[in-house]
Amino acid sequence: MLSVNLPSSLGGCESLEVLHLQGNFFEGLIPSSMKRLRGLRDLDLSRNNLSRDISQFFKGFKNLENLNHSFNEFWGEVSVEGIFRNASMTSIVGNTRLCSGIANFQLPVCSNGGLSCAFGSVYKGSLDDDRVVAVKIFNMLHKGSSKSFIAKCEALRNIRHRNLIKVLTACSSIDFHGNDFKALVYELMENGSLEEWLHPSIGNEVVLEAPKILSLVQRHLAALIYSFI
């Protein structure tokens, strides 16, 4: 069994038609270079620890006849295009962060919204260089959203603190409906929200001990004090 990240050089095998890597301990993101393997007919990555938003990744693989992504850490909405149109040719069981509107996949129905927060919602995404990020999209119908966006950009532009999430970039544009679109892209913190850790939902068996909670509070207070000085 192998336990490494998939090499980006794999994308150079553009004539590859069959790729079976199942039953190993491959981990991390599928390299974006694999998008060049458009000649693949049979791809089996099952029973690894691989991850990626696969909602659009395999959209252009027109020759795929069999796809097995079972028991990994993939996330996103399973597309109704390409290989995913035929559920009998695809196996994606065991990926708890996938959702779909296709009944045959027996996955949760996708929600249009991300994690709600002040003035908008936060979504998980990935950049072209494979970095996984958190994207806060501002609800411009909410009164004060535009001012909040400008204020955050001004405040976070020069802030550097170990307990504050780094802002990678900002976007201010027009969406496909012609409406104002504003978003901030942050580094993703994989361990979920502080609220969930302090107030775990029913069924979450992970409970923080008092010293750990105190440490979290101290670090967040330090970041808040720094941001207001």
79 near 102, Cβ under 8 Å?
Answer: no
Instruction: Let me know if 50 is exposed, middle or buried by CB neighbors in 10 A (0-12, 13-18, 19+).
Output: buried
Residues 199 and 181 in one domain: no
Helix (H) or strand (E) holding 196: helix 194-198
Q: Does residue 127 form part of some domain?
A: yes
Q: Does residue 147 form part of some domain?
A: yes
Which of 11-25, 48-62, 93-107, 167-181 ranks highest by mean pLDDT?
A: 11-25
* 214-221 long-range Cβ contacts below 8 angstroms, 24+ apart: 219/163, 220/163, 220/194
Residues 89 and 158 in one domain: no
63 near 40, Cβ under 8 Å?
Answer: yes
Per-residue pLDDT of 116-149, as tens digits, reads 455 567 777 778 787 888 888 877 766 677 777 7
State the DSSP string of 127-145. Answer: -TTS-EEEEEEE-TTSTTH
Q: Does residue 3 form part of some domain?
A: no
CATH (domain of 123): 3.30.200.20
User: Domain limits at 184?
Assistant: 112-190
Of 105, 130, 146, the residue at which a domain comes to its end is 105
Residues 177 and 195 in one domain: no
Rounded to whole angstroms, how far apart are CA atoms 52 and 128? Answer: 12
Q: Does residue 99 form part of some domain?
A: yes
Domains of the chain: total:
3
Of 76, 105, 134, the residue at which a domain comes to its end is 105
Residues 84 and 141 in one domain: no
Q: What is the DSSP letter of 45?
A: -
Structure tokens at 62: 């027109």
Q: Which amino acid is present at 96?
A: T
Residues 47 and 89 in one domain: yes
Q: Does residue 2 form part of some domain?
A: no
CATH (domain of 36): 3.80.10.10
Residue 87 in this model has a pLDDT that exceeds 80: no
Residues 19 and 96 in one domain: yes
Q: Does residue 47 form part of some domain?
A: yes
Percent residues over pLDDT 90 in the chain:
13
Of 70, 85, 105, the residue at which a domain comes to its end is 105
Residue 216 binned pLDDT confidence (cut-offs 50, 70, 90): confident
pTM, entire model: 0.51
Residues 171 and 211 in one domain: no
